[in-house]
Structure 1
Amino acid sequence: MLEFAEAQHADRKTLFIEVILPLAIAKNYTYRVPYEMNEAIEIGKRVVVQFGKSKLYTAIILSIGEKAPEKYEAKYVLEVLDDKPLVTHAQLQLWQWISEYYMCHIGEVMHAALPSVLKLASETRIVLNKGFEYDRTQLHDKEFLIAEALDLQPELTVSDIAKLLGQKTVMPVLKMMFEKNIIHISEEVNDKYKPRKRTFISLNPLYRDQDNLREVFTILERAPKQADALLAYIKLSRQQKSVSKNDIIEASGAGAAAIKALLDKEVFVAEEVNVSRLLYEAEEETGLFNLSDTQQTVLDDVRRQLEDKDTVLLYGVTSSGKTQLYVRLIEEMIATGRQVLYLLPEIALTTHIIERLRAYFVASIGVYHSRFNDNERAEVWQKVLNNEYKVVLGARSSVFLPFADLGLIIVDEEHETSYKQFDPAPRYNARDVAIFLANLYKGKVLLGSATPSFESYFNARIHKYGLAEMIERFGGVELPVTEVVSITAETKQKTMQSHFTGVLMKDIEEALANKEQVILFQNRRGYAPLLMCRICAHTPKCINCDVSLTYHKSSGKLHCHYCGYKEDSPVICPACGSTHLEYKGFGTEKIEDELRMILPNARVARMDMDTTRSRNALQNMLNDLEEKKIDILVGTQMVAKGLDFSGVTVIGIINADSLLRFPDYRANERSYQMLAQVSGRAGRRGKRGKVVIQTYDTNHRVIKQVIENDYHDLYFTEMEERKSFHYPPYYRIVNLDIKHKDPEVLYNQSVYLANELRKQFGERVIGPHPPLVSRIRNYYIQAIMLKFEKDGLSINKAKTVIRDIITQFQTTKLSKGSIIQPDVDPY
């Protein structure tokens, strides 16, 4: 029988495949393909393989050959999961480039790129989708067994399911159950994205006859509020196509109870429908708009430059109408049959962009970001792969999607630090990855910003990128009036109210009196950054990190913002026993709390990491702001990104000094960007806005540049310093963070590594030195910085040498217990 089997396969090739595993390993592994799977093997498909003694992983085929590995015996592939490649050739090229450029493992890139549902492993946890109803009698035996087991035990690992079914390869069964929406991955079980619903009111057809309508008004003589609501509806229905419940309440002054009564009497008919999260003029909702002369000139300029340059920087002041230019370019690209990627720094904060583009492109637009659960992300992945979406809007991770023919990438607010992945690896910058990605498809890139990063503006000035400028706001709306107020002077004059100057309070009160809205910016969350003993100056610190704990009034606890550690706020000093404990400083929570006391009738809300953790919290807050249910919004830097509301006329920056006094060579650039972007939220429609900047240093150069809207002066001043002190864009930076649980061992390791690097790179090596936060999650940290001139040493060769030195170091006994994290272009 064996001889027969061998004879049957004698004419078949023995194939070996190199695969990418979603692990941080230095080399890819090679596996042997069983003869019966030869026809199914293709680059980009997923396979199930065993790695180590017993663990199973989903891997991606990188290459196919007939050469067996020399150093080890290849294990067999257990299963091929896909009928067609899930990952494209262009994606594999992108992964390899990211791995090389950002000095990480390709498995780490794969782990970041693929939705969890597409990379099942032995320890992946599976749960039932309790919100989905299905007929269990229609399940196959194995699916039924898994569903029954999950009834008894809420979570099972893939290994548990393999034992349950008595077989190694359970991935295909789980894949089918995912596609049927029966199961979820436990770490991704969130409520599905809930569209915003709004109740629209229409008149019962019976009462559209004038005589019947008169009878209704006669009946409503004793219910004046209901009559007012009905009159308001009639008036509104003549002015607009649809009338919402909120429209009637606002126009009539009648409450929800009056409308409910009219619904009960069947005078009104209600319909709950999904609507755009932000409202725009009707002509915008239909996708019809005309560009201004300025916009048309700039658009023509962008088109012309895109013919010669692969990347163009669009530098336009806040509210200059850049989005409408993007729409025109997207329309033109779709007309050619190619795809468009629209990158946004914070997808949840730019819902209005999503809805505005959906108005133009309807079903051909997809959205991809971390707020979607894993099944939704996998669905978007498949639709992009099948070229069903012509436009994709997404945060930085959307650069990993499997585009079929990508013609244009728009990077909106290209200066934003949100495009940089800081932890874990790959520590990539989506803006820079986008430029490489477009090159793979022979596509184009448009970078847009009111405050461009110095790197992008430098590249535009040396003609590496094209440059188009929009220097006036759309519709002739003026930039806001900016007033700088001295906290020191007002404190002496005793005109401060808590943390608010008299000038800011006067402007807030005037805005509220005019039924306008206010945004207050404080770039620190929590109630108080510091709890200090007045007697001995003891400050509670995190047990895991080298930082003081921040007091949060909502929880009554002290929080660490690095590792999440919490402890009860003490009432007695643990060091000296004193009861004289004081809260120092202030965060958004304290600002919100004090505003409620000073302005009890104002509706105050807070937007920061603490109030927007749940999936729909942020969307609900934006809805309330748009519907003018919020008078004052207090927030961190989240309020600077993408908010566009007609009612906001006053912006208050509570303490500008917290931005300006940061020990970082980018501090002035970032401060200007943040202040300019926050200021740009004011007066975006019609009425000119006002910005009040509270500061101790009214003469600070950056504040003057913000007032004068003088980006160019900032740029030229800062660039002189950057050139002198060897910083980007004249130099490239690679940071190495070395971590260890023992500070003495860490110091010896970091000194050894720095000395080895100096042998190759000399004075280009700076450090080691402890960073600002020198211990996180019980790991002490030492940092080494390497600066490489752009015109001298090849950065690729330098990275190769750095890798070799790190590898050599890791082979020594000294390296035991250390973690080394390279970060290329760290800022």
Structure 2
Amino acid sequence: MKIDENLSCLRIAVTVPTQGTFSYAVPERLAPKAQVGCRVLVPFNNRKITGYILGKVPKKNNQNLKEILNVLDPEPLFHKQQVPFFEWMADYYMHPIGQLIQSALPGGLNTDPYKTALLTEEGLSAMAVLPPLSEEKRLLSWIKDHPGKRLPGPLQEFYVLQKKGWIVIRERTRKRRAGPLMRKFVRPMKNVRLKSVLAKRTGPFEAKNELVFMETVFSSDDTLLSELTAKFTNASYLVKKWVKKGILEEYTGTVYRNPAGEIVFPSLAPVKLFEQQTQAVNHIQKCLNRKAFSACLLHGVTGSGKTEVYYRAARHAIRSGRQVILMVPEIALCVYMEGLFRTRLGNRIGIYHSGLSEGERYDEWMRMARGDVDLVIGARSALFAPLPKLGLIIVDEEHDSAYKQENSPRYQARDAAVVRAKLEKAMVTLGSGTPSVQSIYNTINGRYHLLSMPDRIEKRPPPDVEIVDMKTLEGKGKQPGNEILSPKLREALDQNLRAGNQTILFLNRRGFHSLFLCRSCGKPIRCPNCDVALTYHLMGQQLKCHYCGFYSGTQIKCPSCGRGGLKSYGFGTEKLEQTLTELFPTARIARLDTDSTRKKGQALQILRKFSDYETDILVGTQMITKGYDFPKVTLVGVIAADLSLGFPDFRAGERTFQILSQVAGRSGRGSQRGRVIIQTFNPDHYALITATAHDYQSFFEKENDLRKQLSYPPFSHLACLRLLGNSKRKTAEAAQRLSLGIRGILAKWPKRGKEILVLGPVEAPISKIKGKFRWQILLKSESSSLLHHLLGRIEKSARKDLKSTGVHLILDVDPYQML
């Protein structure tokens, strides 16, 4: 959408932490370039920053506006249809719209200034004498270890160090790191034919390979110079020779970085759909044909054929001339889904997730913005795909907590997908074998249409599920691995290996030992920056913090009593893998968790080997519970089913039921019946009982009743106010002041003030992360609009109250993690 040059007033969202948008004039020379969705450079408070054009507004009489300085993009990065969605996101999740758009776009585009710091001689001297655990020494050490890096907020604490003469703060501008990949090409000049070139020659070519070289160049419209130099050692000489003669030309062009690798999980179309699939597909197609907003929840048990329904729905939308977003909760699942869809839909598929390089993300984004993509497959960030003709959004495994982003901007991608579909008159389909309580509740109140697929493909029976009460095994026997693998699970593993089948073992805790205890005082070795115990990792022989990345060796003394002699307790996926290797030395064992998949392509390699039957036992964390179809898996073992039950969260029971049901669903998806063995210390918990019985309805009724009694979602709306600070005392005091301020505001609302419940302030369950002390307040209300009105008041008052205190407020609307 080009801007009307007669209306030279633009509405700009700037990339600074401020609410709302700003009006700027556009000079005549830039008017043709100024389009909605383009980045611009604008003056703002005596500096130059980046902004985004959201639209045009009428210029008021005598309105003296600053002019934009430059348009930074030759074509729009997003379309005008997305602007209302960005505005809704910014308003609902209480986040500045410019920074929201900035986070949605591919990384590496930003050119905003930032602050860095250098240590002075006085600062180096101060480091030598400051107490080891002092906050000032921590900040100085960070500057020393991160030269030239952006200073983490809040900056006030660094300015204090500058006043003391210990550091010098400087401003730098980040260079654009992502953009088109430019390479040199060679091609024949226009209207030049090889036959005519050869006809004019009177003798042989000077070089032996010159004829083959010319045939190679003339066989294609454009040939990469790098490909020619790789094939012909004298390519540079030959190119210069024929360019000089006017036969060839050399130019610079754009190269597309294709993130799609080989198709690892090819998909064949089924001979026919089963009745439950046909009914679901027919309903979705009818909704798509209306070209209006509609929402449905596809509740299909694991193995019921939901993916085929997704494919048929996407194909119908594409054939109707519209575009599709398919969201999945894990990056590894993106690779799996890409293989299934690319074999049947071709190459007009885009991939978008944080596992791509900055250049790949940029190329994929621009393909979408230009309309060169029919289907986008991605994780949470695919929600923002700039598709101009969006017709369908599919959210697979809609119950998964990975759809909630836990850093700014904190949004729920599943819920936001529903709003985007509504704003762009598209359809949204949420799919799950274990739907969230909120989504099922939305089908009851009529917001979503429920599509049920209660049977597995070919009426295959669900796996047999057995529970092992680990309390009855305590103290029995001294066999290796007894604390991890019960005799029943060990026996089942042995039988499965002998039968030539595959096994998945699920343990949602990575590392080797879960904690190290001091033999003298009994206290665990904790992270100095976080209120958590360090986890021992066999690879690297290190104690690591899973929150801030701190690590140390194991030959250390207890920080509490100063004595040595530490003892390890607990287990994680590393120890489980080692135990299996000792028990089954001939078995081929692999591990899939974030530690084993840090490098690009490692997850794909592990999954490929398992799919090709090159692995007998796959050990993993939550990554292995999602959506994969491995027909030879006939045994699933859940090592410690209680881990998720211990979280201080009202969704703990729901998450446990979902994880157990999902991982159990990986078993028995082929011709043989599956078996699931769940090890637990809480066999009587309703989440385990209903998961064992494959009884979602009973689980929902129990969970829904509990939520209703306690007035938790879906019967209320929540907001978590989290305060982070460097000083424990100041953070606690700020939380108390904020709580009193909130209660004071509500006291002035005699009628509606009672509709909001204030819980807290309390110290967070994990009271310190990355050196920041943490307190939180929970707000609960049946009215979302009333809650947001209060949050707006809180944000304004907190901004003044917390200034120069070193305490920072985070607003988390619809929180999921309250640790």
**TM-score bracket relative to the smaller structure:** 0.7 to 0.9
- 8 Å CA contact 2:14–2:49 kept in 1: the answer is no
> What corresponds to 1:131 in structure 2?
none
- 8 Å CA contact 1:20–1:62 kept in 2: the answer is no
Change (3 A) 1:572 1:801: closer
Equivalent residue letter for 1:33: V
How far is 1:517 from its partner?
1.2
Aligned to 1:746, the other structure's residue is in SS state helix
Aligned to 2:740, the other structure's residue is in SS state helix
Distance 2:329 2:78 in 1: 25
Distance 1:274 1:611 in 2: 20
Q: Does 1:767 align with 2:760?
A: yes
Q: Does 1:473 align with 2:456?
A: yes
Aligned to 1:311, the other structure's residue is in SS state strand
Residue of structure 1 aligned with 2:741, choices 756, 763, 769: 756
Q: Does 1:412 align with 2:401?
A: no
> What corresponds to 2:179 in structure 1?
178
Residue of structure 2 aligned with 1:718, choices 703, 708, 711: 703
Aligned to 2:733, the other structure's residue is in SS state helix
User: What are the within-5 Å matches in structure 2 for residues 733-744 of structure 1?
Assistant: 733-744=718-729
Residue of structure 2 aligned with 1:568, choices 553, 562, 566: 553
> What corresponds to 1:92 in structure 2?
83
Change (3 A) 1:809 1:288: closer
> What corresponds to 1:37 in structure 2?
30
Moved more, 529-538 or 46-55: 46-55
C-alpha distance after superposition, 1:216-248 (max 9, x if no partner): xxxxxxxxxxxxxxxxxxxxxxxxxxxxxxxxx
How far is 1:822 from its partner?
0.7
- 8 Å CA contact 1:757–1:802 kept in 2: the answer is no
Distance 1:780 1:526 in 2: 26
Aligned to 2:89, the other structure's residue is in SS state helix
Distance 1:734 1:625 in 2: 42
- 8 Å CA contact 1:739–1:779 kept in 2: the answer is yes
How far is 1:24 from its partner?
2.1
Residue of structure 2 aligned with 1:781, choices 774, 783, 795: 774
C-alpha distance after superposition, 1:98-143 (max 9, x if no partner): 0101111112211211112433334699xxxxxxxxxxxxxxxxxx
Q: Does 1:674 align with 2:662?
A: no
How far is 1:797 from its partner?
3.8
> What corresponds to 1:276 in structure 2?
263
Change (3 A) 1:38 1:274: closer
How far is 1:291 from its partner?
0.6
Equivalent residue letter for 1:105: P
> What corresponds to 1:374 in structure 2?
358
Distance 1:380 1:711 in 2: 39
Distance 1:178 1:301 in 2: 42
- 8 Å CA contact 1:411–1:447 kept in 2: the answer is yes
Q: Does 1:341 align with 2:325?
A: yes
How far is 1:496 from its partner?
5.8
Distance 1:587 1:439 in 2: 43
- 8 Å CA contact 1:495–1:502 kept in 2: the answer is no
User: What are the within-5 Å matches in structure 2 for residues 456-605 of structure 1?
Assistant: 456-494=439-477, 497-498=480-481, 499-605=484-590
Aligned to 1:455, the other structure's residue is in SS state helix
TM-score by length of 2: 0.78
> What corresponds to 1:105 in structure 2?
96
Aligned to 1:35, the other structure's residue is in SS state coil
> What corresponds to 2:608 in structure 1?
623
C-alpha distance after superposition, 1:448-487 (max 9, x if no partner): 1000000000011122210011111112221111111122
> What corresponds to 2:348 in structure 1?
364
Distance 1:813 1:434 in 2: 34
Distance 1:113 1:450 in 2: 29
Q: Does 1:300 align with 2:318?
A: no
- 8 Å CA contact 1:309–1:466 kept in 2: the answer is no
> What corresponds to 1:606 in structure 2?
591
> What corresponds to 1:436 in structure 2?
419
Distance 1:617 1:441 in 2: 37
Structure 1 or 2: more helix by fraction: 1
> What corresponds to 1:326 in structure 2?
310
C-alpha distance after superposition, 1:744-786 (max 9, x if no partner): 2212211121122223145611111111111111111111111
- 8 Å CA contact 1:15–1:32 kept in 2: the answer is yes
- 8 Å CA contact 1:43–1:64 kept in 2: the answer is no
- 8 Å CA contact 1:526–1:551 kept in 2: the answer is yes
Aligned to 1:48, the other structure's residue is in SS state strand
Change (3 A) 1:550 1:58: same
Q: Does 1:826 align with 2:815?
A: yes
Equivalent residue letter for 1:82: D
Change (3 A) 1:512 1:723: same
Aligned to 1:38, the other structure's residue is in SS state coil
Q: Does 1:310 align with 2:310?
A: no
Change (3 A) 1:483 1:174: closer
Residue of structure 2 aligned with 1:81, choices 61, 72, 78: 72
Change (3 A) 1:124 1:178: farther
Distance 1:495 1:570 in 2: 28
> What corresponds to 1:803 in structure 2?
792
How far is 1:44 from its partner?
2.3
Equivalent residue letter for 2:78: V
- 8 Å CA contact 1:322–1:448 kept in 2: the answer is yes
Distance 2:312 2:662 in 1: 24
The alignment covers a number of residue pairs equal to 675
Residue of structure 2 aligned with 1:645, choices 618, 626, 630: 630
Q: What are structure 1's unaligned runs of at least 5 residues?
A: 1-11, 126-154, 159-169, 184-272
Q: Does 1:403 align with 2:387?
A: yes
- 8 Å CA contact 1:350–1:642 kept in 2: the answer is no
Aligned to 1:119, the other structure's residue is in SS state coil
- 8 Å CA contact 1:320–1:472 kept in 2: the answer is yes
Change (3 A) 1:305 1:337: closer
- 8 Å CA contact 1:16–1:68 kept in 2: the answer is no
Distance 2:543 2:34 in 1: 55
C-alpha distance after superposition, 1:559-610 (max 9, x if no partner): 1111111112235434445443111111111111111112111122111111
How far is 1:709 from its partner?
0.5
Moved more, 409-418 or 378-387: 378-387
Change (3 A) 1:121 1:457: same
Distance 2:701 2:30 in 1: 62
Equivalent residue letter for 1:700: H
> What corresponds to 1:190 in structure 2?
none
